[in-house]
A and B are shown apart, each in its own frame.
Chain A
């Protein structure tokens, strides 16, 4: 398994147009991440980390370049195919959680299964198990608005994992949390990653966090450079 490639990018470029000026955010980016690998993405604010993660997560398109996700070429995929790939391959964890406030914790976690056509009862049952795994079973009936930040992120992690994706993309998942809670969330993510052998990409500013990952990628000036493997 370890020598299989999860993400393979070649010559990926992305620019945004601001009025008359063009801002090139990513310039001919090349890199690979193997299946089951953990990878930190670091770099100064505004360097294009989120842009890179959006392209990896099929939420945004590169202007040019080739991108293979789990062997699927996604360069020419239509929006329905992209939705299908996001559904089956990717779980997202956002800095601001993005839970649906009016739904209960349980319903939030079950939501990805609903787009897989799983019936309501068994979706809720699976969601309950997943909440147990992230230590939130006792909050299942809460509205997500009534949770603390750390609790919300636990729920978001359960939601990202419930569809058994091959890739977890976390954009500053601890960016809104105090350091104690941040460590707990990170430990949770890493322990689940080990259990499920899922590929994990984390955008982070925290060097300690970055050191916990097998691979470290720095985004700067539109370029992506791989840093030395961290000491595990």
Chain B
């Protein structure tokens, strides 16, 4: 038996002189391998980008909106809040939010901001994080305390003196004590809260600042094992009955994610099909090159048989050549694929992260294609009888 390392040496010997035809086959393999690697990476980064839209809002969270209907009577926050308390939705964690546009005054400097009246649970539900101090506390009741979004804090500090936890802030002529400043946070597509441009005060403190506010959004956490879709239906049902003069809309982030994924998946399958076609094309090219290689080297095959090569030695000789060709193509293709995916990410404005699995998957599928298409010519070579192979005509 020809030892493996010698078999490889022999194959590489002939590989050295593979012709321009093999360069074409190589190109096919590179394109196929590159598309597979690029596709996996593009899919991976598209997924990351989609996930980033939700910015920490878990898939166990949904948002109910209660916009005022035109010409309906405006309800009062205290009444709304009482209605929410009265809902029969065991297990659901409901965080009510109320919004108002206001201007803040600090140090003779006035800044416009969005005022959010809410409860302490908002902190976890939309995954906030603190730069300094604390968030709202359930014992704040209607205290005049305020937590600042990052951009608001920056704008207020532009007057010269930096705003600090413990400073007092004027909101519609009421003084609120700053208890915390939040870290900057990208907006989630589904959350109604624009964190950086908002200031947060206790839900019931808002009536003091804005008398005519009604409940706007409920951010609802549906902890497992509750089913989020059933919870959404029950919530809609009860809200519609309780707030009969207002329209009720429920957004389920999970459904939105699924919708996006479905769209991505279609795109994905299309690209994978293209990659597979390129790869198969490369494989067929490898097969052709190997067939020509076998027929050009027929006498060499006969000579090798005459000096003692067995059928499997001949088969391996050509199989290893096909594999060497595909390996080279796979490695080059992986490099090209990563470069393409990176370019795609840059153009799409995404951050690029390498999908680790893409390299072994791309290289492996290419090698499989190489073996699959290299096997037939290699077996054809090994099936020649020595006289047939040596006949010089």
Q: A residues within 8 Å of B by Cβ?
A: 54, 57-60, 79-80, 83-84, 86-88, 90, 92, 94, 96, 98, 100, 102-103, 107, 111-112, 114-117, 120, 159, 163
Secondary structure of the B side of the interface? Answer: helix
One of B105-113, B168-176, B201-209, B306-314 contacting the partner: B306-314
Give A102 to B306 CA distance when docked, in angstroms. 19
Q: Is the CB–CB distance between B386 and A80 below 8 Å?
A: no
One of B2-10, B65-73, B177-185, B373-381 contacting the partner: B2-10
Give A163 to B303 CA distance when docked, in angstroms. 14
Supply 9 A–B pairs (Cβ within 8 Å), ascending by A: A79-B310, A83-B309, A83-B310, A90-B306, A98-B299, A98-B300, A102-B14, A102-B17, A117-B6
Q: Please give me the residue from chain B that is nearest to A171 by CB atom.
A: B390
Give A58 to B309 CA distance when docked, in angstroms. 13
Q: Is the CB–CB distance between A114 and B311 below 8 Å?
A: no
Which B residues are CB-close (under 8 A) to A83?
A: 305, 308-311
- Distance between A95 CB and nearest chain B CB, rounded to angstroms: 8
Which A residues are CB-close (under 8 A) to B387?
A: 54, 59-60
Q: Is the CB–CB distance between B13 and A87 below 8 Å?
A: no
Give A101 to B136 CA distance when docked, in angstroms. 85
Give A60 to B384 CA distance when docked, in angstroms. 11
Which A residues are CB-close (under 8 A) to B385?
A: 59-60
Q: Is the CB–CB distance between B390 and A59 below 8 Å?
A: yes
Partner of A84, one of B2, B304, B308: B308
Give A98 to B306 CA distance when docked, in angstroms. 11
Q: Is the CB–CB distance between B305 and A59 below 8 Å?
A: yes
Q: Which of B6, B14, B303, B392 has the largest count of A CB atoms less than 10 A from its CB?
A: B303
Give A58 to B303 CA distance when docked, in angstroms. 13
Give A17 to B393 CA distance when docked, in angstroms. 18
Q: Which of A92, A102, A114 has the largest count of B CB atoms less than 10 A from its CB?
A: A114
Give A120 to B299 CA distance when docked, in angstroms. 23
Which B residues are CB-close (under 8 A) to A111?
A: 304, 307
Q: Is the CB–CB distance between B306 and A57 below 8 Å?
A: yes
Q: Which of B10, B14, B308, B313 has the largest count of A CB atoms less than 10 A from its CB?
A: B308
Which A residues are CB-close (under 8 A) to B13?
A: 102-103, 107
Q: Please give me the residue from chain A that is nearest to B3 by CB atom.
A: A117
Partner of A96, one of B3, B16, B392: B392
Give A80 to B386 CA distance when docked, in angstroms. 12
Q: Please give me the residue from chain B that is nearest to A112 by CB atom.
A: B307
Summed over the interface, the residue pairs from A and B with CB atoms below 8 Å come to a total of 73
Contacts A59-B390, A98-B390: A115 and B313 contacting too (C-beta < 8 A)?
yes
Chain B 295-326 near chain A by CB (<8 Å), digits 1 or 0: 00001101111111111010000000000000
Please report which residues of chain B, range 338-393, place their CB below 8 angstroms from some CB of chain A when the two chains form the complex: 385-387, 390, 392
Q: Is the CB–CB distance between A86 and B392 below 8 Å?
A: no
Partner of A87, one of B3, B14, B307: B307
Which B residues are CB-close (under 8 A) to A60?
A: 385-387
Partner of B307, one of A54, A86, A103, A117: A86
B82, CB-defined interface residue at 8 Å: no
Which B residues are CB-close (under 8 A) to A90?
A: 306
Contacts A60-B386, A100-B300, A102-B14: A115 and B307 contacting too (C-beta < 8 A)?
yes
Which B residues are CB-close (under 8 A) to A163?
A: 307-308
Q: Is the CB–CB distance between B17 and A115 below 8 Å?
A: no
Which B residues are CB-close (under 8 A) to A59?
A: 302, 305-306, 385-387, 390
Give A84 to B306 CA distance when docked, in angstroms. 10
- Distance between A104 CB and nearest chain B CB, rounded to angstroms: 10
Q: Please give me the residue from chain B that is nearest to A103 by CB atom.
A: B13
Give A87 to B390 CA distance when docked, in angstroms. 16
Give A159 to B308 CA distance when docked, in angstroms. 12
Give A102 to B386 CA distance when docked, in angstroms. 21
Nearest 4 CB-CB pairings of A with B: A87-B308, A59-B386, A112-B307, A115-B308
Give A107 to B16 CA distance when docked, in angstroms. 15
Partner of B6, one of A86, A94, A103, A120: A120
Q: Which of A58, A83, A86, A120 has the largest count of B CB atoms less than 10 A from its CB?
A: A83
Which B residues are CB-close (under 8 A) to A87?
A: 307-308
Q: Please give me the residue from chain A that is nearest to B10 by CB atom.
A: A114
Give A139 to B42 CA distance when docked, in angstroms. 56
Q: Which of B306, B390, B392 has the largest count of A CB atoms less than 10 A from its CB?
A: B306
B230, CB-defined interface residue at 8 Å: no
Contacts A59-B386, A115-B2: A102 and B308 contacting too (C-beta < 8 A)?
no
Give A116 to B307 CA distance when docked, in angstroms. 10
Q: Is the CB–CB distance between A80 and B311 below 8 Å?
A: yes
Contacts A59-B390, A112-B308: A117 and B2 contacting too (C-beta < 8 A)?
yes
Partner of A115, one of B16, B300, B302, B309: B309
Which A residues are CB-close (under 8 A) to B304?
A: 111, 115
Which A residues are CB-close (under 8 A) to B299?
A: 98
Which B residues are CB-close (under 8 A) to A116?
A: 308
Partner of B16, one of A80, A92, A100, A102: A102
